[in-house]
Amino acid sequence: MAEAAQLPEGEHCAPPSFPYPYVQLDPEKAKLDGYAGYGKSKCSYGAFEAVIGQLREKIGYPYTHVPTQVLGWGGTGGGGWGTLCGALIGAATAINYTMPKSDADKVVSELFGWYCDHPFPEFMPEAGKALEYEGPIEKSVAKSPLCHVSVSVWCDASGLKAESKARSERCARVTADVAAKTVELLNQFHSKNFKAVYKNEVVDDCMICHGKGHSLENTRGMMDCEQCHTDVDPNNLVDHIKKSWDLL
Ligand code: HEC
Ligand code: HEC
């Protein structure tokens, strides 16, 4: 059996109370740190370290005890699977350090909604300072929080390859944008200026029947239904229901 790690003399071992404290952070610094973090250990670590690193500098303990390397797994949407965008995994985890889950869910949802609709990357490193690829990078709108969709929509928009240096550079810049947006939302939340504004009308329309408490209640979530269920026309739901019943 592995030996328990020994605490240095004088360190207290009571766990810090949760959630951890927060002070206003600098979104511009988060951008630069997110970008640099991507260079060290990819998107998920980059976004996480951009937020936790500033809190570590400004507050110290308990953030000095957060090993940000644990978010390394989130790169490529989690162990190489292309599920949730890794920058969102890191950012959502950072958000959850600073507030109870009931609040964190609202802020995370707002971040994911922003990610779906935002044309990025916006961040542009200084000339000569790019990680993998100099110059402007094609912007795209993912309409999804999934790594798979985000990357492939960008490949389509740019005509470039998913394993290219340009794609990696694009994701480094997306990490910078996500880190800055996260800090912006955290600053708003912790100064009582946060307001959830994200809405997806297609999802609302579908959930009238498929969502919680409604006649079918056979799905959950807020991802854009239309993006995958392309055979359902949200403007002709009567036809959808007719067709669906014909299938039975
Ligand atoms: C007014 C109610 C209603 C609304 C609104 C509605 N559906 Fe359905 N949907 C149904 C019914 C009824 C069925 C068939 C029942 C079953 O398969 O259990 C169905 C079946 C489905 C199915 C499985 C069969 C198929 O066609 O592939 C999918 C997927 C689906 N709906 C997606 C959607 C999406 C996406 C939206 C929004 C754009 C939507 N539905 C809106 C009632 C609705
Ligand atoms: C990322 C892609 C994706 C998104 C986004 C998505 N779905 Fe699905 N959905 C699937 C897949 C894949 C299945 C399982 C395969 C199938 O039955 O089509 C499925 C299954 C379903 C089914 C059961 C289908 C059946 O055969 O009876 C319903 C109903 C459904 N989805 C509704 C929705 C609604 C409503 C939304 C929006 C809130 C949504 N889906 C968003 C991919 C997606």
pLDDT reading at 205 higher than 80: yes
Output the ligand 2 site: residues, CB below 6 A.
203, 206, 210, 218-219, 221, 223-225, 227-229
pLDDT reading at 12 higher than 90: no
Q: Is 29 in the pocket of ligand 1 (CB under 6 A)?
A: no
Q: Mean of the pLDDT values across residues 40-69?
A: 97
Q: Mean of the pLDDT values across residues 52-63?
A: 97
For ligand 2, atom 12, the nearest C-alpha belongs to 228
242 Cα: distance to centroid of ligand 1 (angstroms): 10
For ligand 1, atom 17, the nearest C-alpha belongs to 244
pTM attached to this predicted model: 0.94
Closest ligand 2 atom to residue 146 Cα is 1
- Confidence (pLDDT) at 159: 98
- Confidence (pLDDT) at 4: 63
pLDDT tier at 235 (50, 70, 90 boundaries)? Answer: confident
For ligand 2, atom 43, the nearest C-alpha belongs to 228
- Confidence (pLDDT) at 5: 63
Q: Is 232 in the pocket of ligand 1 (CB under 6 A)?
A: yes
Amino acid identity of 62? P
229 Cα: distance to centroid of ligand 2 (angstroms): 6
Out of 7-11, 43-47, 76-80, 119-123, which region has the weakest mean confidence (pLDDT)? Answer: 7-11
239 Cα: distance to centroid of ligand 1 (angstroms): 10
What residues does each domain of the chain span? 27-190, 201-247
- CA atoms lying within 13 Å on the CB side of residue 207: 16
Out of 10-14, 85-89, 202-206, 227-231, which region has the weakest mean confidence (pLDDT)? Answer: 10-14
Closest ligand 2 atom to residue 220 Cα is 38
- Confidence (pLDDT) at 11: 62
pLDDT tier at 243 (50, 70, 90 boundaries)? Answer: confident
Q: What share of the chain in percent tops pLDDT 90?
A: 86
pLDDT tier at 1 (50, 70, 90 boundaries)? Answer: low
208 Cα: distance to centroid of ligand 1 (angstroms): 10
For ligand 2, atom 42, the nearest C-alpha belongs to 228
Q: Is 62 in the pocket of ligand 1 (CB under 6 A)?
A: no
Q: Which residue has the higher pLDDT, 58 or 9?
A: 58
219 Cα: distance to centroid of ligand 2 (angstroms): 7
For ligand 2, atom 18, the nearest C-alpha belongs to 229
Q: Residue 226 CA: which ligand is closest?
A: 1
Out of 13-27, 109-123, 139-153, 232-246, which region has the weakest mean confidence (pLDDT)? Answer: 232-246
pLDDT tier at 9 (50, 70, 90 boundaries)? Answer: low
Q: What share of the chain in percent tops pLDDT 70?
A: 94
- When the pLDDT of each residue in the chain is averaged and rounded to a whole number, the result is 94
For 112-132, how does the pLDDT look when each residue is reduced to its tens digit (9 = 90+)?
Answer: 999 999 999 999 999 999 999
